[in-house]
Chain A
Amino acid sequence: MKPSTLKYGSVALMFVALFFVPELIRQFTDQTDRAQASAEESLERYGFFMEEVSQELGVTFVHQRCDVDDPLKHIQPQIAAMGASVSVADVNNDGYQDFYVTNSAFGEPNHLYIQQSDGTFEEQASIYGVADLNQYPKGSSMGSIWADVNNDGWEDLFVYRYGKPVLFVNQKGQKFEPFEGATQFPDWVNSNSAVWLDYNADGYVDLFLTGYFKEDVDIWDLDDTRMMPDSYEFATNGGKNYLFRNDGGRGFTDVTQEMGLDNRKWTLAVTSVDINGSGFPDLILANDYGVDELFLNEKGKRFVDMGPASSMGDIPKSGMSITAADFYNQGDFALYVTNISEAGVLMQGNNLWVPTGSTTIDGIEVPTYANTATSAGVEQGEWAYSGAVTDLNNNGTLDLYIANGFYSATPNTDYWYDYTKVVGANSQVIINASNWPAMKERTFSGYQQNRLMLNDGSGRFREVSSAVGAALDKDSRAVAFLDIRNDGTMDMVVANQHAPVSVFKNQVNQDHAWIQISLEGTQANRSAIGASVTVEWTDAQGQAQRQKQSVSGGEAFSSQSSRVLHFGLGVMDSDTVENVTIHWPGGKRDIYEAVPHNQKHTLQESTSARFDN
């Protein structure tokens, strides 16, 4: 054989081998457990097992998407893509968590499920006066959040809509009445998320409300079809965001401009935590058609956009959900943002922003982040909405549940080709809904399975949804966790677009300990929203552990989980955790030592709470 032939043959062989590299990588890096396990196997292998029990628990809600005006009919599933939401609260202070789900079609009621002592639910939205909220021209519900706005000890309900937002005041657990104080809520806002936060630490929760479509867009009576984003990645024509100051429970004043939060990005999700330990809650926004944003709170005086300085605000994607969580038990919050990925078409990947340190900009200490989603195994999503966090197997590390799926229509059809025709085009094309190709009942990233990413404690996550009984392939939007029956396990409610809600009951390995902390502010807002709790314990291997969680006024996408903080502890030799440290909004601190686990503790802000410095 000639040397040249030999050389050509060897190069050709190497060339062919290159085509097998992706398959080899798949084999070595696959972090998915696909085989469905029995409850016993799942408990043994993963420490928990989930079961869909909606019907058994009396939850029958089915979300109906809203209709749209004629000029938008050809892309209705995109315009009316959201509205299935879930939020959790103890409405009647009976010690059992209840939940509220929103509907979107006009004439279709929202449901309020009141938990009974046996763990079943009764639908009582009409009794409480919060059912019939979907009527034109008042609007169509998109989501809700709970907080005690007047510090009377009862949880109040805020419902944001494509339309007029509405606040209901809890009448001692018997019913709700519209808030009678003076508000500067807009007459119309197309909102998909909101969050409570006490930005000025005055002891009353304030409200941040986002806008998606611009506020002059009425999708049922459209004036102009030039209402779509003016860019797929740098859109600047979205709805206005609002910050409303709670004036002592008597009214809400629009302070958006003076607080530096004027923004016209297409915000889809928002959450608030004290990201830098300043004692004042910060705001983190996930923007569709844009970059993630971090607004640091300057002691309640103003917010400063530090997204680019923190490294979060560089790469534009389609931000759908934002959640803060201490995934690595380091006492710091990482930020998980979901985006859109479709195999072979669009590879945005989800973001896991992990703190790397800090830098000083104009005298402000700014936390910095690196996106470690790929190495953690939580980068590959699909068309994702909520990325919600809790410890599902009580092993002491926080797990992640990702809602996937945009529009499931005719099977084996696909709208992606038509979508790519316009979204990569110039603003003059993309901005006009008339240019968007008709969907014609084609599936658009539909029939996608939600993912349950189990944290192995070493920084890696494994997808186990099928293996633990949590598989779900509806077009899921919102995810909230609550402890049904108060048995020390976190159960899950998934709100699905144009589909029944799914309730999952969780069975957890009883060897795993847990502790729950319910907070009540006295000087801080009574719901304790914005307070953070750090639990420190020693595990069975003698390793010191600590985990930080924050009481959330809204998180993920159109979701709010139970505000009773739940900490899994794994196998414990001791009957107590070493410390429970509470940082209250405003900066004061309470510390409790040797706190017994496997029970819920209700802790009130003490009069002796001290500032750190």
Chain B
Amino acid sequence: MLPAGLALPKSLIGPVLITTLLIGAHLSFGILDGYQKLLLAVITSIVMENLLHKYTKGSFKGISSAYVSGISAGILIRSAYFWPFALTAMISIASKYVLRYKGRHLWNPTNFGVAMMLLIAADSTAVLSIQWGNHMWAMVIIWLVGIFTLMKVGRFNITGTYLAAFVFFAWIRTYFTGDTFLTEVAPLTGPMYQLFALFMMTDPKTTVKNPWAQSAVVVVIAFVEMLLRLGEVVYAPFYALFIVGPIALVIEDWWQSRSQPVSGAEAVPHT
């Protein structure tokens, strides 16, 4: 346990964790094609965020959120070109300012950006699909560090439920595909899933508030992912979150407005 004076503010836990994982993974396994593309995604993300925030709300914004979006895009996107990294970051950030419902954005920005890039630029873009080397320890350490951090910030129920649901649906899938259980559950051992389950799914801005509802939503995400996987969709988890996440938020909003009449002040949308 860190001394109180050294404890990280909650807002910095995400950026510090993802940066630590990135540096460790790259120095150990060279997961990045190069630092330039990562930097481009991060810088584009931060610049875009602040330009749009200044333009729409009149002030600049801190870099923490944009940094995580940018670094996530930089890790997840794979391309020989530079422009997909910048474009993913731009689409991700801009989606927060355009695709809004009752004052909040509906999609996890990176999830939206990555899903869109796979649709509009599949000929020049792919998503990270490699391993953390060939050692079990790297995978185990990252899961442990990630889970510990999520427990500290009270969001482990999301990832934990998702993992359980994924494993269950993997077992179900074996009856349809004829492949072994190990084969169906294998994607969980790759870094793409770790980034997805540790960071993307747990984004506080785009998850429902109630812990039980959070768990229910990720079960639905895992179920939709299973359906997509049975349809042989390579990036099923991204599309599943892309589809289910916003619907869950809209339902939550509708449920809250039905059970708790909003006051005049709360009804004013954020701009």
- Residues on the A chain within 8 Å of B98, using CB: 8, 11-12, 15
Evaluate contact between B80 and A429: CB separation under 8 angstroms.
Answer: no
Interface 1/0 per residue, B90-130 and A, CB below 8 Å: 11001101100000000000000000101011111110011
Interface assignment of B183: CB less than 8 Å from any CB of chain A:
yes
- Closest-CB distance, A8 to chain B (whole angstroms): 7
Cβ-closest chain A residue relative to B228: A417
Cα of A426 to Cα of B189 in the assembled complex, Å: 6
- By a CB distance below 8 angstroms, the chain A residues around B191 are 424
- Contacting B at CB under 8 A, from A35-61, are none
> Known: A15-B95, A22-B124, A315-B30. Is A4-B271 also a contact (CB below 8 A)?
yes
Contacts of B11 in A (CB 8 A): none
> What's the minimum C-beta distance from B163 to chain A, rounded to whole angstroms?
15
Q: Are A435 and B180 in contact (CB under 8 A)?
A: yes
In contact, A345 and B80 (Cβ under 8 angstroms): no
**Cβ A233 vs Cβ B29 within 8 A:** yes
Which residues of chain A are within 8 angstroms of B179 by Cβ–Cβ distance? Answer: 418, 421, 437-438
B187 in the interface (beta carbon within 8 A) = yes
CB B102 to nearest CB in A, in angstroms, measures 14
Beta-carbon contacts of B5-16 to A below 8 Å, as 1s and 0s?
000000000000
Q: State A428–B187 Cα separation when bound (angstroms).
A: 12
Return the contact of A435 from the options B80, B83, B91, B183 (Cβ within 8 A).
B183
Q: B131 an interface residue at 8 Å Cβ cutoff? A: yes
As a 0/1 sequence over residues 372 to 384 of chain A, the CB contacts with chain B under 8 angstroms (1 = contact) are 0110000110000
Cβ–Cβ contact A233 & B232, under 8 A: no
On whether the beta carbons of B129 and A234 are closer than 8 Å, the reply is no
Q: Does A425 contact B (CB under 8 A)?
A: yes
Check A7 against B55 for contact (C-beta < 8 Å).
yes
B contact residues around A22 at 8 Å (CB):
87, 120-121, 124
Q: Which of B55, B134, B186, B232 contacts A236 (CB 8 A)?
A: B134
A434 lies within 8 A of B180 (CB):
yes
CB <8 Å contact, B134 and A234: yes
| Cβ of B35 to closest chain A Cβ, rounded Å | 11
Cα of A21 to Cα of B89 in the assembled complex, Å: 13
Flag if A373 contacts B233 (CB, 8 Å): no
Q: Would you call B80 and A231 a contact (CB within 8 A)?
A: no
When the two chains form the complex, which single residue of A233, A344, A435, A437 contacts B126, counting CB atoms closer than 8 Å? A344
Question: Is A235 a contact partner of B180 (Cβ separation < 8 A)?
Answer: no
A234 touches B187 (CB 8 A): no
Question: What is the CB-to-nearest-CB distance from B75 to chain A, in angstroms, rounded to a whole number?
Answer: 14
A18-B91, A427-B134 are known contacts. Are A314 and B30 too (CB-CB below 8 A)? yes
Q: Does A254 contact B (CB under 8 A)?
A: no
Are the C-beta atoms of A414 and B232 separated by less than 8 Å?
Answer: yes
A426→B184 contact, CB < 8 A: no
Measured in the bound complex, the distance between the Cα atoms of B185 and A435 in whole Å is: 11
Let me know if A424 and B234 touch, CB within 8 A. no
B57 CB, min distance to chain A CBs, angstroms:
9
Selected from A8, A26, A429, the residue in CB contact (under 8 A) with B186 is A429
Contact (Cβ within 8 A) A11 B133: no
Chain B residues with CB below 8 A from A315, complex form: 30, 33-34
How far is it, in angstroms, between the C-alpha of A25 and the C-alpha of B124 when the chains are bound? 11
Q: Answer whether residue A544 sits at the interface, using C-beta atoms and an 8 A cutoff.
A: no
**Contact yes or no, B183 A343, CB < 8 A:** no
* Distance in angstroms between the alpha carbons of A438 and B179 in the assembled complex: 8
User: Is B19 on the interface with A (CB-CB < 8 A)?
Assistant: no
Q: Is the CB of B97 within 8 A of A11?
A: yes
Residue of A nearest to B55 (CB): A7
Tell me if B94 and A347 are in contact (CB < 8 A). no
Shortest Cβ distance from A416 into B: residue: B234
Query: Does A361 belong to the interface (CB within 8 Å)?
Result: no
A232 at interface by CB-CB < 8 Å: yes
Is A344 within 8 A of B183, CB to CB? no
A307 within 8 A of B: no
CB distance from B33 to the nearest CB of A (A): 6
State the Cβ distance, B59 to closest chain A Cβ, in Å. 14
| A418 contact from B29, B95, B136, B232, Cβ within 8 A | B232
B241 to chain A, nearest CB (A): 18
Q: Flag if A425 contacts B186 (CB, 8 Å).
A: yes
Q: Which residues of A contact B255 (CB under 8 A)?
A: none
Chain A hits for B122, CB < 8 A:
343-344
Contact A316 B136 (CB under 8 A): no
Q: Which residue of the partner chain B has the closest CB to A426?
A: B189
> How large, as a class, is the contact surface on chain B?
35 or more
With both chains docked as a complex, state the minimum distance between the C-beta of A344 and any C-beta of chain B, in angstroms. 3
- CB–CB A421/B184 < 8 A: yes
Of residues 174 to 203 in B, which have CB atoms within 8 Å of A's CB atoms?
A: 177-180, 182-184, 186-187, 189-192
Report A-chain residues with C-beta under 8 Å of the C-beta of B136: 426-428
Other-chain contact of A346, B56, B129, B233 (Cβ < 8 Å): B129
Looking at the assembled complex, report how far the CB atom of A9 sits from the nearest CB atom of chain B, in whole angstroms: 10
- Chain A nearest CB from B70 CB (Å) reads 16
8 Å CB contact of A421 from B125, B133, B186: B186
Instruction: Indicate if the CB atoms of A424 and B130 lie closer than 8 Å.
Output: yes
Q: Would you call A374 and B131 a contact (CB within 8 A)?
A: no
Q: Given A232-B131, A418-B179, A424-B130, is A11 in contact with B83 using a C-beta cutoff of 8 Å?
A: no
Q: Is the CB of B134 within 8 A of A235?
A: yes
User: Is B234 a contact of A417 with CB atoms below 8 Å?
Assistant: yes
Residue B139 at the chain A interface, CB threshold 8 Å: yes
How far, in Å, is B142 (CB) from chain A's closest CB?
Answer: 12
Within 206-260 of A, Cβ neighbours of B (below 8 Å) are at 230-236
> CA A346 – CA B129 in complex, angstroms?
8
Give B81 Cβ to nearest chain A Cβ, in Å. Answer: 6
Render A303-324 as a binary contact track against B, CB cut-off 8 A, 1 for contact: 0000000000011100000000
By beta carbon, the residue of chain A nearest B81 is: A374
Residue A572 at the B interface, CB < 8 A? no
Contact B129 A425 (CB under 8 A): no
Q: Which residues of A contact B81 (CB under 8 A)?
A: 374
B131 contacts which chain A residues (CB < 8 A)? 231-234, 424-427, 430
- B87, B94, B116, B192: the one within 8 Å of A424 (CB): B192
Given A345-B234, A421-B187, A435-B182 in contact, is the A231-B134 Cβ separation under 8 Å? yes
- Tell me whether A79 is interfacial, beta carbon within 8 Å: no
Question: Is residue B52 contacting chain A, with contact meaning CB distance below 8 A?
Answer: yes
Kindly state the separation between the CA atoms of A316 and B26 in the bound complex, as whole angstroms.
12
In the docked arrangement, what's the CA distance between A202 and B134, Å?
42
The answer to whether A345 touches B129, judged by C-beta atoms less than 8 angstroms apart, is: yes
Tell me the smallest distance from the CB of A7 to a CB of chain B, in Å: 5
- A235 to B183: give the CA distance in the assembly, Å: 19
In the complex, whether B79 has a CB less than 8 A from a CB of chain A is yes
Q: Which residue of B lies closest to A16 (CB)?
A: B98
Which of chain A's residues have a CB closer than 8 A to the CB of B187? Answer: 420-421, 424-425
Which A residues lie within 8 Å of B177 (CB)?
437
| Contact A234/B183 with A7-B55, A374-B80 known, Cβ cut-off 8 Å | no
Closest Cβ of chain B to A378, distance in Å, is 11
The verdict on A595 contacting chain B, using a C-beta distance below 8 Å, is no
* A235 to chain B: closest residue by CB: B134
The residue that B130 contacts in the complex, of A232, A342, A345, A379, with Cβ under 8 A, is A232
Residue among B126, B135, B139, B234 making CB contact with A347, cutoff 8 Å? B126
Cβ-defined contact, B183 with A421, below 8 A: yes
Given A234-B133, A343-B123, A421-B179, output 8 extra A-B contacts at Cβ < 8 Å. Answer: A11-B94, A14-B94, A236-B134, A315-B30, A315-B33, A345-B234, A424-B186, A429-B183
The contact sample of 16 A-B pairs, CB cut-off 8 A, is: A7-B56, A11-B55, A15-B98, A18-B90, A21-B83, A233-B133, A315-B33, A347-B126, A418-B179, A424-B190, A425-B187, A429-B186, A429-B189, A435-B183, A437-B177, A438-B179
- Top 4 A-B pairs ranked by shortest CB distance? A231-B134, A344-B122, A425-B186, A424-B190
